[in-house]
Amino acid sequence: MLFTSYEFLAFLAIVLALYYILPKKTQWAVLLAASYAFYALSGIEYLAFIAVTTITSFAAARLMGRVSDGEKRYLEGRGEELSKEEKKAYKAKKKKRRFLILCLALALNFGILAVLKYTAFAVVNVNSLLHTFGAETTLTVPSLILPLGISFYTFQTMGYLIDVYWAKAEAQKNIFKLALFTSFFPQLIQGPISRFSDLAPQLFGEHKFERKNVTYGLQRILWGYFKKLVIADRVLIAVNAAAESPENFGGVYVFLLIILYSVQIYADFTGGIDITIGIAEAMGIRLAENFNRPFSSRSTKEYWNRWHITMGSWFNDYVFNPVSVCRPMLAISKKSRKWFGKKVGKRIPVYLATVITWFLTGLWHGAGWNFIVWGLLNALVIIVSQELEPLYSRFRKRFPRLCASWGYGAFASIRTFLLMGLIRSLDVYRNVPLTFKMWGSIFTKFNLPELLSGGISALGLGLADYIIIVCGCIIMFAVSSLGKERSVRDRLYNRPVLSWCLCGALFVAVILFGAYSVGYDASQFIYNQF
């Protein structure tokens, strides 16, 4: 079920109504039923997969918990009898056992994800490898189903398991409650990826009907639909037109595409997240923010702290940090310090961890070389900026006033926006050589006159559409700026007439200017396929 479907709106209304009508202690059960219903309506054959993840994670966490409890009891009981070495050895043995359980569960669940999502990609690459070496055989590329939200719920649940292993979270004793954590429907399609210790108490708690929560939640949902339907789905028409016939839209069109795609993915993704967070908020549940004015970022590093925040922090906590301090990496660290000297040597493990993390981030986004290259390019930019940091700080010392000026800040933001947009275009063309070719054409093909003399209409949008897009962007920017000091909803909360005027206008705008229904191509949130 798409967020932007009539069925979903009806579903949401029913769920919210039941949530507040039924007794508070059944609220989590209502959410579980709703989440599984939502999942089943999207494809009943998918249920087996999410159930397997839930069951195996539940079992693994309980097992690890049992090992820890056993360890505690044993040490309390026999503590005085044992020597320090014996205690250490015992603890190490238990830790190893928990690690084994964790690895089995991770292997199984990541295995499922890997098999379903990446087998076809692997086989295609094996085939091309075989053909390069002249082999005749062609393996059949399998066609496997990809359950809705598998990337999101797998990562969220594996995060829970790892947290249990690290004793950051307690194993959940009720399998149905864990099932809810895994399948919570608002965040199933595109996140945000939540942490068990943050979400669980809220999810399983009791929530009274609070006018503020419901009002704020509904306002946020409306705002999300505005961004998604009025702006994102409209811009998507032009983006698709340019991406589908790259031979006709080279040169300055690629530059335009970069800007349009940036607007489109921002409005689409943040819009979807607004709907997600708004739904949860209306239920009295606070989900983690996933975006924080990303286009105001002045560097790539800052950008990744403001864009898809929960994914970044998931990879940071569960991949980058562990990889940085794992034994093989420490060994590499020692060796590289020996071979390359301390200065260079200490950077190598960090950069290696960065590359691994970004390789996996790219791969998580999709089974394609374009996603992998996307990830690696991000890693490259981060590493290069790190290397150039001494140069930057010298520059900042020499020109302190310039660097503090508004103009320089704007320059840095625009630079980051364009750089990130350029790299992101790998997602549009879906083909690495083609993308590089299109980047080249920005500098080699001079077709600005063609664009200005009506060529732009070939992208499928009329003047009215561009006016709507520009107005939409201005509204997004205004709301974002106003919200810096004090959130817009806070400002409106005690001014009902103004609040209704603005929300009413927004609602009418969504109905009237939304790019939905016959005549506009149906489009899913970009992150739906993950």
Partner 1 sequence: MKKRILITLAAILVICLLLAFLQTLVIPKYADDKTKEGSLVSEYYAEAGGHDVLFVGDCEIYESFVPAVLWEKYGISSYVRGSPQQLVWQSYYLLEEMLEYETPNAVVFNVFSLKYGEPQSEPYNRMTLDGMRWSSSKIDAINASMTDEESFIEYVFPILRFHSRITQLTSQDFKYAFGSPKVSHSGYLMQTGVDPQTDFSKGRTELDYEISDNAWKYLDMMRALCEENGIELILVKAPTNTMKYWWHDEYEEQISEYAEENRLSYYNFIPLAGEIGIDWSTDTYDKGAHLNVYGAEKLTEYFGRILSEDFGIEDRRTDASLSEAWDVRLESYYKERNG
Partner 2 sequence: MKRIFALLLCFLMIFAVVSCSKDENEEENGGDKGITTSQKSSVSFYVNYKSVKIELGADAKAVISALGTAKSSLSMGNCGGLGTLTKYVYDSLEIYVLASGSTETVDQITLLDDAVQTPEKVSVGSAKDAVISACGNGYSKMTDTSITYTSGSKNLKFTLRDGTVTGIDYLTVS
Binding footprint of partner 1 on the chain (CB under 8 A) = 6, 462, 464-465, 468, 496-497, 500-501, 504, 507-508, 511-520, 522
Give the nearest distance from C-beta 500 to partner 1 in angstroms: 4
Give me the phi and psi of 438, to 5 degrees please: -65, -35
Out of partner 2, partner 1, none, what residue 116 binds, judged by CB under 5 to 8 A for its kind, is: partner 2
∠ at Cα 221 (218, 225), nearest 5°? 140
Out of partner 2, partner 1, none, what residue 304 binds, judged by CB under 5 to 8 A for its kind, is: none
Indicate the residue among 375 and 472 with the shorter CB distance to partner 1.
472
Out of partner 2, partner 1, none, what residue 108 binds, judged by CB under 5 to 8 A for its kind, is: partner 2
Q: Which two tokens stand for residue 200?
A: 């669980």
Q: What Cα–Cα distance (Å) separates residue 81 from each residue in 88, 89, 330, 448, 470?
A: 13, 14, 35, 83, 75
Indicate the residue among 8 and 90 with the shorter CB distance to partner 1.
8
Out of partner 2, partner 1, none, what residue 100 binds, judged by CB under 5 to 8 A for its kind, is: none
Out of partner 1, partner 2, none, what residue 511 binds, judged by CB under 5 to 8 A for its kind, is: partner 1
Out of partner 1, partner 2, none, what residue 526 binds, judged by CB under 5 to 8 A for its kind, is: none
Give the nearest distance from C-beta 64 to partner 2 in angstroms: 11
Binding site for partner 2 (CB under 8 A): 43, 45, 48, 52, 55-56, 59-60, 62-63, 66, 104-105, 108, 112, 115-116, 120-121, 124, 141-148, 366-371, 430-431, 524, 528-530
**To which H or E segment does residue 92 belong?**
helix 84-132
Indicate the residue among 115 and 452 with the shorter CB distance to partner 2.
115
Out of partner 2, partner 1, none, what residue 104 binds, judged by CB under 5 to 8 A for its kind, is: partner 2
- Amino acid found at 335: K
Indicate the residue among 245 and 457 with the shorter CB distance to partner 1.
457
DSSP string for residues in 226-290: IIIIIIIHHHHHHHHHHHH-TTTS-THHHHHHHHHHHHHHHHHHHHHHHHHHHHHHHTT--PPP-
Peptide bond into 142 cis (omega under 30): no
Q: What Cα–Cα distance (Å) separates residue 241 from each residue in 232, 297, 529?
A: 14, 29, 20
Give the nearest distance from C-beta 113 to partner 2 in angstroms: 12
H-only helix segments in 399-462: 400-404, 406-424, 426-429, 432-444, 448-452
Indicate the residue among 170 and 465 with the shorter CB distance to partner 1.
465
Long-range Cβ pairs for the range 263-266 (8 Å, 24+): 263/231, 263/232, 263/235, 263/469, 263/473, 264/231, 264/232, 264/235, 264/236, 264/239, 265/232, 265/424, 265/427, 265/526, 266/294, 266/295
Indicate the residue among 116 and 468 with the shorter CB distance to partner 1.
468
∠ at Cα 288 (285, 289), nearest 5°? 120
Indicate the residue among 458 and 506 with the shorter CB distance to partner 2.
458
Give the nearest distance from C-beta 524 to partner 2 in angstroms: 8
Give the nearest distance from C-beta 483 to partner 2 in angstroms: 33
CB 268 within 8 A of CB 189: no
Indicate the residue among 52 and 452 with the shorter CB distance to partner 2.
52
Out of partner 1, partner 2, none, what residue 186 binds, judged by CB under 5 to 8 A for its kind, is: none
Give the nearest distance from C-beta 377 to partner 2 in angstroms: 16
